[in-house]
């Protein structure tokens, strides 16, 4: 005789875990960090390849360091500006919704009833749920914004976190192909090997956050980055030959 479980059953017949947690998908640090690391790797490896096609090792190091600093600051500023702009846009929509709540409260209730009805609730149930939600204006406001815009006004990503993670990871990615040169081993192939290893590593690590096979994620980034690096090397070589 088996013991019965008090845990509620899911539609599949298995106990439902009520305390499971989801990852942060609001577009904060993870997106900026992944973008920064990948951009740093690809752009600086490609830059080094293009310069090294016809230039000396000293020129490669100077170009690589300059590319690291310029790219890191550019990425950080871009992330800060884009996230701040997006947050300000959300805040402006909050103001619009607040005005509508005060000027047309009945219309807002009816709008929520329509949303619930489209989700499959009966008209009576939808009307009762909408009425209960609108008893608390703040919660009702947030609920409307989530349903209408797909964002929660109290869960906005931090522009400083996005900028900082982007700056740091870009710098880390950009310095990887420079490692052989900084250690005194002036070899383009060594720099390309380090850049390729970095692409595999970053792609694999990023894939683990999305529950994808790390090897597949690493190979995908390696292939895409390899194309960009090869094209940049070819262009640098052709320009160098034509100039000399």
Encode the chain (244 residues) as per-residue pLDDT tens digits: 444 445 444 444 444 445 555 555 555 577 788 888 888 999 999 999 888 888 888 999 999 999 999 999 999 999 999 989 988 888 888 787 778 778 888 888 888 888 888 888 888 888 888 888 888 877 888 887 777 777 777 778 889 999 999 999 999 999 999 999 999 888 889 999 999 999 999 888 888 877 888 889 889 989 988 898 888 888 887 886 565 5
Q: Report the C-alpha gap between 151 and 180 in whole angstroms.
A: 45
Kindly state whether residue 45 falls inside one of the protein's structural domains. yes
DSSP-assigned beta bridge partners for residue 15? 9
Kindly state whether residue 2 falls inside one of the protein's structural domains. no
Kindly state whether residue 71 falls inside one of the protein's structural domains. yes
Q: What are phi and psi of 11, to 5 degrees?
A: -55, -20
Write out the residue range of the structural domain in which residue 176 sits: 29-154+165-243
Kindly state whether residue 41 falls inside one of the protein's structural domains. yes
Q: What are phi and psi of 28, to 5 degrees?
A: -90, -115
Kindly state whether residue 18 falls inside one of the protein's structural domains. no
- Pair of tokens at residue 60: 């490669």
Alpha-carbon torsion 140, 141, 146, 148, what sign?
positive
Kindly state whether residue 34 falls inside one of the protein's structural domains. yes
Residue appearing with tokens 């009805």: 117
Kindly state whether residue 17 falls inside one of the protein's structural domains. no
- Pair of tokens at residue 155: 């869960």
Kindly state whether residue 22 falls inside one of the protein's structural domains. no
Domain count, the chain: 1
Instruction: Count other C-beta atoms under 10 Å from residue 75's C-beta.
Output: 26
Closest CA to 187 of 68, 63, 46, 57: 57
């Amino acid at each position: 005789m088996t013991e019965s479980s008090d845990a509620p059953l899911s539609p599949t017949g298995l106990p439902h875990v009520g305390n499971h947690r989801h990852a942060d998908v609001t577009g904060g640090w993870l997106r900026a960090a992944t973008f920064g690391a990948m951009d740093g790797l690809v752009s600086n490896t490609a830059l080094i390849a293009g310069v090294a096609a016809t230039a000396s090792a000293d020129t490669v190091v100077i170009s690589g360091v300059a590319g690291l600093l310029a790219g890191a600051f550019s990425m950080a500023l871009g992330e800060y500006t884009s996230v701040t702009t997006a947050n300000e846009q959300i805040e402006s929509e909050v103001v619009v919704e607040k005005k509508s709540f005060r000027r047309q409260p009945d219309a807002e209730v009816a709008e929520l009833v329509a949303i619930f009805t489209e989700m499959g609730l009966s008209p009576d149930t939808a009307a009762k749920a909408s009425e209960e939600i609108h008893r608390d204006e703040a919660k009702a406001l947030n609920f409307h914004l989530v349903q209408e815009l797909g964002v929660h006004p109290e869960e906005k990503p931090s522009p400083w976190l996005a900028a900082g993670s982007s700056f740091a990871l870009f710098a880390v990615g950009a310095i990887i192909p420079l490692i052989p040169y900084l250690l005194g081993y002036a070899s383009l192939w060594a720099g390309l090997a380090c850049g390729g290893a970095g692409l595999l590593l970053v792609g694999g690590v990023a894939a683990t956050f999305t529950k994808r096979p790390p090897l597949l994620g690493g190979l995908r980034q390696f292939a895409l980055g390899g194309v960009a690096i090869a094209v940049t090397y070819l262009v640098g070589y052709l320009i160098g030959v034509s100039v000399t």
